[in-house]
Structure 1
């Protein structure tokens, strides 16, 4: 059956925007009937799915914030987010609700949808687990019980994303509802970063791939941004490398948002598999979320062509830099230059601007972007602010003479070795270059002599044999002696978010737990 454009495809099912909008307007009427309105919160504990999209749109129509809950969270972590955001309603997939049912706050309205077949297959969810628990309101019944909400609709404040919590409890980034000017500015930013400039009059020809979880800010923003522009979307509940290649070929994907870990998994496919799928339809593949090892990015450009682009930003700032493949090849390692309407400076510990070439704290400002606070904690918001409206997202780096930004790492990850600052990202980039390395995490561990020394947890690739002595010896050619890890631990896998961010806190914690120091 042919579905009218624009459409959304998930697995083997395709629905038009018009079909999804009807479901969203019915659900919005249901939210309004339960008293959910402007400034309230609806939490969504779901993997990428049609229900996730409809529930998010529905909350926006009544002016409520949507909190997409990281479904990797433990029940206690889910409880923290739901309590912190003050959710009036929770919409969940059945298997996720079963796992976190005890985390539902008293009095919150819980609505569940059966876990879809593709998700059951991807995550090995049994049929009984995928069914809505007895006594819980069913999403389809909730939608069917209401007529469509009619305009005028409230101004959607968007999603209130909770930061990943790799360094402590997650923080909810709550923005003011956007003005029309801010909405237009955000749309223009997405057109630049997403490679959609010149597509305004033919958005129904764009086919955008979202293979990352929409509880994260970039996939969430791009999914609903492209949807609002009238583009077609192919949404994956889980990244599967060969399946993504097949989607690109079958759906003639033009634009995609990925993270470096996805590049690594794509490159690991055998050559016959790579050749079997046509990727020539791609116009722009933007990556974000974590540093991309230079050799990985070069390999992707060699394979996909000069369509690999990059942007840097944060949940709080949005996108502030952009880099084309050509710019990156001319300035290897950069994350790009400031986007229009964005300002970037590098500051020393006293807050004074540093000249090009000197590393320090990255501070930035995006003009015409709705201001925010951390939900329930304005003091944390104030701690990130700098003079002139600049914001510190917590990263370290430097600018070159041409205005290109380079990242050194997270300020919270910085290792202080005998009074010398050591940036893990630099060491990780060199370890990634070594044959047989699939992944790594570098951080500081306590040392009586130097305060901190460098430690690396390394994940070997399939069939690779690595030794601590061999790895250290190989790094001597590119790193100063104090940057070479004093301790190397080999792991079969590293705890990692779907965005590609490693949960360093979980790896680092045991080294520091006996000391009175924040991790």
Structure 2
């Protein structure tokens, strides 16, 4: 018996999960999950029990992740916008032995599985499927009760480093409840404090850590509503229709909600909301202020990373007293500003922001790389005498665009493969809606006959997902460097805004393809 069968008895008729086209009550959820779990249990998933999930937001995607949990499999969350080559790298690196996908990602999944040698690809959804892909309905045939004497495994997500190569990291201890078997794991999930807020709304793509929280809430007993492609007006409609109690959003979601007509915002019934958590990137102070004015004191902010979970947290009342802060460190983490000699700096000193994990875990990648107990998330900040942290700049080159991490090194490595490009550097520049956007400075191999915007973009799309393509390109005669020959990206960020004769914009901006 899955958890859904118990909830079907306790809450008969309640909508358990819904998206724009499908609605299931708890009994229907149980009927759907049982054969999914049995199919996964009967599949050889290798020594690590890993199953890649490559799909857009939907009821089936949520159930796919939850079925992995119930089957004692480790779900590998894969960005559904990646190319086959990018996906194949993750399949190979993670050791995944099966891929769950939808009809929209089936072609990419099939090609990635072929490259990586993954034997099993299963897809849900309508439409024809490519060779080598099994339909979900043909795979899930055993409707008997799945056994629960299985050790649960952690979800695996991928995050890139400064080299641009994605690195796999399991759900951190701060987000993992453990348990000796599936029954105990489910009992622990049921104690998640967010379940008390009622129905949860999934807003962001489920391959990100924040939205993936919904899979744990659902297994713990919280009903879920799922938004597909983001639409601010539709989001408000779902909150009203489904009486949403909680959600997790990024600053770009806030900005697009605030961009709705005043009449629409003022008429929206958001009285059911009890908790909205902002994640993903530092939120511009005016945006955060406007959201608190609108939604009230229910807006919280979490600062952290996929590798460690939440390291700092701040409530709306605290933020109003200390505008712009991302909060204080939460156990087991301690925050400090590191001086050049490695010692903690005095209060209100700007410098590299570091954390100490008092549990001793730190950051651990499946490759074996680890941080030790002290680590940085690559940003500069300051901390007051009460321990509240402000983010002021970034140590690393990472660009956070619409809450999505983009690593310039990966994009540079792809673009430099174009013979028409002699040198390239990618940087993030401020953007009113997305926070930052990635732009590329290109040194052409032939200054007299430089590549066109279309040529550079088409070449890049052979190796990169669409959302990684820079939103603007500039031709330049040379890239700024420091006295020791390193690329000076701080100086580069000023170039697109300067009236420089040696920096020329290329064509129109790329469409936002995310």
TM range (shorter): 0.7 to 0.9
How far off its partner does 1:212 sit?
0.6
| Alpha carbons 1:165, 1:171 under 8 Å: kept | yes
1:114 aligned partner = 125
- CA 1:491/1:7 → structure 2, altered by over 3 Å: closer, same or farther? farther
2:68 aligned partner = 59
| Alpha carbons 1:89, 1:110 under 8 Å: kept | yes
2:384 matches 1:400: yes
- CA–CA separation in structure 1 for the residues paired with 2:238 and 2:365: 37
CA RMSD after TM alignment: 3.8
| Alpha carbons 2:189, 2:219 under 8 Å: kept | no
> Superposed, which structure 2 residues align to 1:65-464 within 5 Å?
65-104=74-113, 105-114=116-125, 130-133=127-130, 136-145=133-142, 147-152=144-149, 154-163=150-159, 168-174=164-170, 179-180=178-179, 191=193, 196=194, 203=196, 206-220=198-212, 222-366=213-357, 373-375=364-366, 377-378=367-368, 380-381=369-370, 384-385=371-372, 389-413=373-397, 428=430, 432=432, 440-441=436-437, 446-447=479-480, 452=488, 453-456=490-493
| Alpha carbons 1:114, 1:132 under 8 Å: kept | no
| Alpha carbons 1:37, 1:62 under 8 Å: kept | no
- CA–CA separation in structure 2 for the residues paired with 1:349 and 1:19: 59
| Alpha carbons 2:22, 2:59 under 8 Å: kept | no
How far off its partner does 1:301 sit?
1.6
Unaligned runs of 5+ in 2: 1-10, 400-426, 442-478
What SS does the corresponding residue of 1:363 show, helix, strand or coil?
Answer: strand
How far off its partner does 1:363 sit?
2.5
How far off its partner does 1:207 sit?
1.5
| Alpha carbons 2:302, 2:313 under 8 Å: kept | yes
| Alpha carbons 1:317, 1:365 under 8 Å: kept | no
How far off its partner does 1:298 sit?
1.3
- CA–CA separation in structure 2 for the residues paired with 1:371 and 1:184: 26
| Alpha carbons 1:346, 1:354 under 8 Å: kept | yes
- CA 1:408/1:219 → structure 2, altered by over 3 Å: closer, same or farther? same
Calculate the TM-score normalised by the size of structure 1. 0.72
| Alpha carbons 2:252, 2:435 under 8 Å: kept | no
CA deviation map 1:409-441 (0-9, x unaligned): 3321399xxxxxxxx99x84xx74xxxx77544
| Alpha carbons 1:185, 1:368 under 8 Å: kept | no
Q: How many corresponding residue pairs? A: 427
- CA–CA separation in structure 2 for the residues paired with 1:228 and 1:344: 32
| Alpha carbons 2:34, 2:142 under 8 Å: kept | no
Unaligned runs of 5+ in 1: 116-129, 416-423, 459-466, 473-485, 499-519
1:126 aligned partner = none
CA deviation map 1:328-349 (0-9, x unaligned): 1111111111224332222234
Q: Give the number of the structure whose residues are more often helix, by fraction.
A: 1
| Alpha carbons 1:210, 1:235 under 8 Å: kept | yes
| Alpha carbons 1:30, 1:146 under 8 Å: kept | no
- CA 1:164/1:13 → structure 2, altered by over 3 Å: closer, same or farther? farther
2:22 aligned partner = 13
- CA 1:136/1:227 → structure 2, altered by over 3 Å: closer, same or farther? same
- CA 1:344/1:439 → structure 2, altered by over 3 Å: closer, same or farther? closer
Calculate the TM-score normalised by the size of structure 2. 0.73
| Alpha carbons 1:9, 1:15 under 8 Å: kept | yes
